[in-house]
Amino acid sequence: MLVLLPPSETKRAGGTGAPLDVEALALPQLAPERRAAVDALVELSRDPETAARVLKLGSRQRGEIAVNAELRTAPTMPAVDRYTGVLFDALDAASLDSAARAWLGEHVLIQSAPFGPVAALDPIPAYRLSAGTALPGIPPLRRHWAAVSTAALGAMPVPFVLDLRSEAYVALAPVPATLPSAFVRVVSAGPDGTVRALNHFNKHAKGDLTRALARSAAAVGSRADLVAWADANGWVLREASGTSELELIV
């Protein structure tokens, strides 16, 4: 199984790893697109006023421009440790044992805006860029990433994809139709069985679910395997009426 996670706008600073090497990241066939995005982001940082406008930064966020300017030389840390926020705080990868972290490294990709899909343990620097940003010098990110990322995902030898990304990041790397997958929505169920989508708890539940999968070293090869794993581990996953999606009920 391959699990796809969204990134987070908030990130830890610093790191102890060597500077970014796009050739060493998962899906190395995306290296040309990664270099182009990094080059565009570094170039944008040369003009702080334009960068603040393009990145939609407030006066207290101007320091993010300097962070982007150092993308090529800044220290790195594993992607799953770099990101913070509700989902990644719930996942709490730093507290997992080595076996669970190895599972994350083998089974989880995080959809980033400047680097495309990266493996959970891939070393990346801090940055500021969201999926909806239009960077000068390259096509809109959806067009820059979608086709090549879909092809890269399709070439992976995985039997099933669990897609926990938000729609904005799904658009950067749609799962190919030839690859069995399930997009998950987090909902709560009322006494009458009606469901409503959740926001904050959506991210928290996805982090908790990913942590549980890693801790159990889940061997999931199909949609049916995933539902069976959920039933055996205290999770409620069910088919969403009228769609091909799965609902995670919390």
Asked whether residue 29 carries a pLDDT value surpassing 70, the answer given is: yes
Give the pLDDT score at 212. 97
Do residues 15 and 76 lie in contact, with contact meaning Cβ atoms separated by under 8 Å? Answer: yes
Pairing of strands 181-189, 246-249: parallel
Q: What is the CA radius of gyration of the chain?
A: 18
Q: How far apart are CA 128 and CA 39, in angstroms?
A: 14
Q: How far apart are CA 250 and CA 237, in angstroms?
A: 9
Mean pLDDT across 36-60: 96
Give the pLDDT score at 241. 74
Give the pLDDT score at 200. 64
Give the pLDDT score at 250. 85
Q: How far apart are CA 123 and CA 142, in angstroms?
A: 23
Cα torsion 119, 92, 201, 206 to 10°: value is: 30
162-197: per-residue pLDDT in tens?
Answer: 999 999 999 999 999 999 999 999 988 766 666 666
Q: How far apart are CA 81 and CA 75, in angstroms?
A: 13
Mean pLDDT across 198-203: 76
The helix (H) or strand (E) run that includes residue 239 is: strand 236-239
Give the pLDDT score at 68. 98
Mean pLDDT across 4-21: 97
Mean pLDDT across 84-112: 97
Residue-averaged pLDDT of the chain: 94
The helix (H) or strand (E) run that includes residue 249 is: strand 246-249
207-221: per-residue pLDDT in tens?
Answer: 999 999 999 999 999
Asked whether residue 199 carries a pLDDT value surpassing 90, the answer given is: no
Give the pLDDT score at 243. 77
Asked whether residue 151 carries a pLDDT value surpassing 90, the answer given is: yes
